[in-house]
Amino acid sequence: MPGQDSQKSSWDPEARRRRWAEHEAARFERVMKYCRANFATARLEDVAEHVGLSPFHFHRWFSVMAGRTFKTVMTEMQLEHARAMLLGGTPISRVAERCGFAHQSHFTSRFSMYHGNSPGRWLRAQNGAAAQRRPAA
């Protein structure tokens, strides 16, 4: 019967799983786009509201989707922008402020935790490596 195929597909567990996965992937991409645009100020509660989830459910959902916690992902985004700003010559205090850290010591603490060096030492190492790559005149 013609109606059976369409009825079967709407109840097909595999088709439902695929639709759910596509929906969740699209939701996750919206979250990541929002986070990238607001990396310095995004809070879990705000992002959860942005996608229509409670903060508790959002935290669990995000951890499953990303394989890391929201805080970890946001800190990584902040540090990614911070590294680019440092390499561009922005002073450490301004980097801390623009990347959403509470203060310079908070930034230095997070940066050191992730990179094993303070921002200043990391930058000197990067500048030294860049100088070694330049051809001698």
Burial of residue 34, with CB atoms counted within 10 A of its CB: 0-12 exposed, 13-18 middle, 19 or more buried: middle
pLDDT value at position 130?
Answer: 66
| Cα radius of gyration (the chain) | 22
Same domain, yes or no: 3 and 62: yes
pLDDT value at position 65?
Answer: 94
Return the closest-CA partner of residue 70 out of 45, 95, 52.
Answer: 45
Token duo for residue 30: 């919206």
Same domain, yes or no: 102 and 122: yes
Q: Which domain covers residue 85, as residue numbers?
A: 69-137
pLDDT in tens, the chain (137 residues): 455 555 555 678 888 888 888 989 999 999 999 999 999 999 999 999 999 999 999 999 999 999 999 999 999 999 999 999 999 999 999 999 999 999 999 999 999 999 999 999 999 999 887 666 656 55
Asked if 47 contacts 41 with a C-beta cutoff of 8 angstroms, the reply is: no
Same domain, yes or no: 80 and 60: no
Same domain, yes or no: 37 and 78: no
